[in-house]
A and B are shown apart, each in its own frame.
Chain A
Amino acid sequence: MSTGITSYADLSQIAAFSPGAGGMDGGGAEWIMAIVVFVWVIWFMVWQFKQEDKELKEAVRLYKEVGMERAMATAKGRIATDEEMKAIEVQRAMGSRAGH
């Protein structure tokens, strides 16, 4: 659908979604676009809360399953492997023998 503008002669009329319809206060498709974007931002917030809540609940369930000690063992953003747990146990044993 044509905008109705066929030249750049009237420089003040280039931008509007509906040129000439509403002037400074809008009045054309600008209102609808603003509402669509606003609803999208609000929906995004709600979605973020829901998916984060689900994610955190799953995390707590996982940590209870593997045990908090293992979940925390590497302190690097991942659950420790069997080998790492063994190595940590050895380290701790050595540390305790050394009186640390």
Chain B
Amino acid sequence: MTDELTALGVIWTEQYFFITVVFMFLIHVGFTMYEVGTSRRKNLGHTLAKNLMLIPMITFGFFFFGWWAYWAFAEVPFGPFADAPWSLPWSYLMGPNMGGGGDADGEFWGHLNGVFFMAFVLFAWTTGSICSGALIERIRLGAWLVLITIFGGFIWLVGAAMGWAPNGWMVQLMGYHDAYAAGLVHAVSGGFALGVLIVLGPRIGKFGPNGEVRDIPPHNKWMVCTGILIIMTGFFGFMAACHVPFIALGTEENPFYGAVTIYGTPVTLSNMTMNYIMAMSSGMMAMYFCSKGDPFWVMSGCIGGVVSCASGMDAYHPLQCVGLAFAGCLFAYHMHHYVQKRFKIDDAVGAVAMHGYAGIFSVIAAGFVLWGYPAAAPTGDINPGWFGNNADGFAIINPLGQVIGAFIFFVVFGILPGYIGAKILQSFGVLRVPREVELAGQDTHFLGDGYPYFEITEGEFEAIEREYAKEQ
């Protein structure tokens, strides 16, 4: 990097993404607390193990396949596999490299490959964490690890390549727009979880003999709620990582520098932050209203509100976010209860609702609210758009493109692989723990009581209290 502006842009981008990655780690901390808190005391060790082990498995899956898939599949099947040598596991650009020697790829990717890679790894962990909660208390750890390595480390990235890159065919041909990944992270993960749940079945006793739905309360509501607050803190990093922070948008005669979405459309951190908080607040109020103040659902409304707006949050006014978050949460909450009752789907944490249904809502809503906005600049390879272009030849955001996009992510990259993967594991008898183990608790034979000292402490204090009671 020989000129100062290029150096500033590249090095600032490197620092920026590093910070987003650190923030995004909190998403995983939060999900772990949320799911362990939701599980019953007899299962919390296994729930924790499930969350911990998705970290290395997805990371390795991503390292070998996912990073390459994100770059290679953008135009497939309407164009060839793209060449992306920096994403291959054996590339020297995976290691420390500062560019130089006139190697243009080295100058750019030498600084940015690692932080881009890590941002996507953290997105990938998020897809795993979203699925994880829905399946707790009955899935085998081995089955879970296989499913999530393939999904989190590869499958969702094929979809992301097509719908979350400026040259993706869904973007260029359909005008698909999903700036903060409501469809291609949230809906796809909710769909995958639903596909697995259909095969996995509900926890023993969740549904009564007459089909009545029984509540299985979390073992620690404080942990659940704090976990979601930590997720929301981490999501600031997620949202920021959906931006490219510094790029030249203008011409040589009229220079203009700013941040862009992953599609290359202009955006500001300022507007995103305001929209994020407004959507979150609206989602919480919607869920307080729906659930009559149940803290579990109120906190889920944080996520549901943001996801409901995420597709178009780069271009919404905050008041649009308020309305969409409210409507999206109502839709997700009622869909959750309808599907649960009608199809006996036991989604333990409401993940399919808050990520899947709210994600679908978000993608489709953006098609109407942002109808006519450019989806991305044309790349020259596979445009113009099927469903309309603007005067400059940019594919426009439109309802049909968004509806088809929501279907592709929720069903094609979500439910189908989840269902097929779970069916294969079930056919080998390795999907679900034996009935006896589920009834006794997944921790009973191996990890043991997650709170071995609680009873003794409580018992001693109760003995003291009883002494006081005798005195009166």
Contacts and interface: CB of A to CB of B under 8 A. Distances in A.
Contacts of A74: 42, 449
B113 to A, nearest CB: 10
B82 interface: no
B449 A26 contact: no
A53 B361 CA distance: 41
A15 B95 contact: yes
Nearest to A51: B142
A37 B60 contact: yes
B202 interface: no
Interface stretch (B306-314, B335-343, B435-443): B435-443
B320 interface: no
B446 interface: yes
B92 A62 contact: no
A90 interface: no
Contacts of A48: 141-142, 145
Nearest to A18: B92
Contacts of A13: 101
Nearest to B437: A59
Contacts of A12: 97-101, 103, 106, 110
Contact of A11 (B64, B101, B140, B436): B101
Nearest to B103: A12
A25 B439 CA distance: 52
A78 B444 contact: yes
Contacts of A68: 436, 439-440
A79 B444 contact: yes
Given A15-B95, A24-B92, A76 B101 contact: no
B89 A71 contact: no
Contacts of B445: 55-56, 58-59, 62-63
- The winner among A12, A38, A52 for most chain B CB atoms within 10 A is A12
A93 interface: no
Contacts of A60: 434, 436-437
Interface residues of B, number: 52
A23 B448 CA distance: 52
B430 interface: yes
Interface in A62-100: 62-64, 68, 71-72, 74-79
A46 to B, nearest CB: 9
B86 interface: yes
Contacts of A23: 92
Contact of A59 (B41, B92, B95, B440): B440
Contacts of A31: 90
Top 7 nearest A-B pairs (CB, nearest first) are A15-B95, A11-B100, A26-B90, A59-B445, A30-B90, A77-B443, A71-B440
Interface of A: 10-16, 22-26, 30-31, 33-34, 37-38, 41, 45, 48-49, 52-53, 55-56, 58-60, 62-64, 68, 71-72, 74-79
25 contacts: A10-B100, A11-B100, A11-B106, A15-B92, A15-B97, A24-B85, A24-B86, A24-B93, A26-B90, A30-B89, A31-B90, A41-B57, A48-B142, A52-B141, A55-B445, A56-B434, A59-B446, A60-B434, A71-B439, A71-B440, A72-B439, A75-B40, A76-B451, A78-B448, A79-B444
